[in-house]
């Protein structure tokens, strides 16, 4: 079993839809959780950073962490064509900057 | 967010030559930088951790003599792919840590002919 599992998609939604992206993990040592957006042939861009269970909201993005279930989610409200990208979840142990990434989910928002 | 600059964005070279990729933290000092490799439709795979003023720490399976890392200052780390071969063709990405977060460069697409 991989440490981090993420459905690679692809996921295609109409503009304005709510998008739900998810990752599961097996290592309870992970304490920091991140979501990155990566456009084709570009470096990942940090979207959300959380370290506790619960929800964190930033604009149209909401990150959700459930440590008891080892499950994290990213919700995108009112999705836009510009949101079309690959979304990577990433996790780190306490005191470490080394990230373990999911495979990424490719999202397409259709106008 | 913090800015990490990576150059070049794309390089094409002949087999057997060496290629240097630079990673700079533009508005902060980074004692630790990371180098990743990404194949098409795959996630980022950590290659090595670059520490300013000391030797890099390589992940299992990564040849340290092939992928030379130099972190000579608090704002610059370089990755040199020595004697490149076609199988080294990949997307290389650096990152730097700041305030418990990682910020990434824009990546370098290396194509070895």
Closest-CA residue of A relative to B92 is: A43
Distance from CA of B83 to the nearest CA of A (A): 24
Beta carbons within 10 angstroms of residue B106's beta carbon: 17
Task: Tell me if chain B has a CB within 8 Å of the CB of A101.
Answer: yes
C-alpha to C-alpha distance for A107 and B33, rounded to whole angstroms: 29
Residue A55 region by backbone torsions, left for phi larger than 0, else alpha for psi between -120 and 50, else beta: beta
pLDDT of residue B92: 97
Q: Is the pLDDT of residue A1 over 80?
A: no
Q: What is the dihedral of CA B19, B47, B87, B106, to 10 degrees?
A: -60
Smallest CA-to-CA distance from A50 within A27, A76, A71, A69 is with A71
pLDDT of residue B31: 85
| Residue B34 to residue A101, Cβ atoms within 8 A | no
Integer angstrom CA distances of residue A49 from A8, A82, B65, B103, B111: 21, 21, 35, 12, 33
Distance from CA of A101 to the nearest CA of B (A): 7
Q: Helix, strand, coil: what percent of chain A each, to 5?
A: 5, 55, 40
Cα A27 from chain centre? 17
How do beta strands A71-76 and A19-25 pair? antiparallel
Q: Is there a contact between A41 and B107 (Cβ–Cβ < 8 Å)?
A: yes
Average pLDDT, stretch A57-63?
A: 96
Tracing tokens 């839809």 back to the chain, one arrives at A17
Q: Model confidence over B79-88: pLDDT tens digits?
A: 999 999 999 9
pLDDT of residue A38: 94
Average pLDDT, stretch A63-74?
A: 96
| Residue B49 to residue A99, Cβ atoms within 8 A | no
Q: Model confidence over A85-108: pLDDT tens digits?
A: 999 999 999 888 788 999 999 999
Q: Is the pLDDT of residue A14 over 90?
A: yes
pLDDT of residue B1: 63
| Residue B93 to residue A43, Cβ atoms within 8 A | yes
- Dihedral sign from CA coordinates of B6, B71, A104, A96: negative
Smallest CA-to-CA distance from A66 within A33, A20, A104, A102 is with A33
Task: Tell me if chain B has a CB within 8 Å of the CB of A45.
Answer: yes
Q: Model confidence over B7-61: pLDDT tens digits?
A: 999 999 999 999 999 999 998 998 889 999 998 878 889 999 988 888 899 999 9
Give me the total of CB pairs closer than 8 Å, taking one residue from chain A and one from chain B.
50
Q: Show contacts of B49-57: CB within 8 Å, 24+ apart.
A: B49/A98, B50/B77, B52/B77
């Amino acid at each position: 079993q991989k440490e981090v599992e993420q459905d690679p998609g692809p996921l295609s939604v109409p503009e304005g839809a709510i998008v739900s992206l998810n990752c599961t993990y097996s290592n309870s040592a992970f304490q920091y959780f991140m979501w990155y957006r990566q456009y084709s042939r570009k470096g990942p861009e940090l979207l959300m950073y959380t370290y506790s269970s619960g929800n964190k909201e930033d604009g149209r993005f909401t990150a959700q962490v459930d440590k008891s279930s080892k499950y994290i989610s990213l919700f995108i409200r009112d999705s836009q064509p510009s949101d079309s990208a690959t979304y990577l979840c990433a996790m780190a142990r306490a005191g470490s900057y080394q990230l373990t990434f999911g495979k990424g989910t490719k999202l397409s928002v259709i106008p | 967010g913090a800015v990490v600059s990576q150059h070049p964005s794309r390089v094409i070279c002949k087999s057997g030559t060496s290629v240097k990729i630079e990673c700079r933290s533009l508005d902060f000092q980074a004692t630790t930088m990371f180098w990743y490799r990404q194949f098409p439709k795959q996630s980022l795979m950590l290659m090595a951790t670059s520490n300013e003023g000391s030797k890099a720490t390589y992940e299992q399976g990564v040849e340290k003599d092939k992928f030379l890392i130099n972190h000579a200052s608090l704002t610059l780390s370089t990755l040199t792919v020595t004697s490149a071969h076609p199988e080294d063709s990949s997307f290389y990405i650096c990152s730097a840590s700041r305030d418990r977060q990682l910020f990434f460069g824009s990546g370098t697409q290396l194509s070895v002919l």
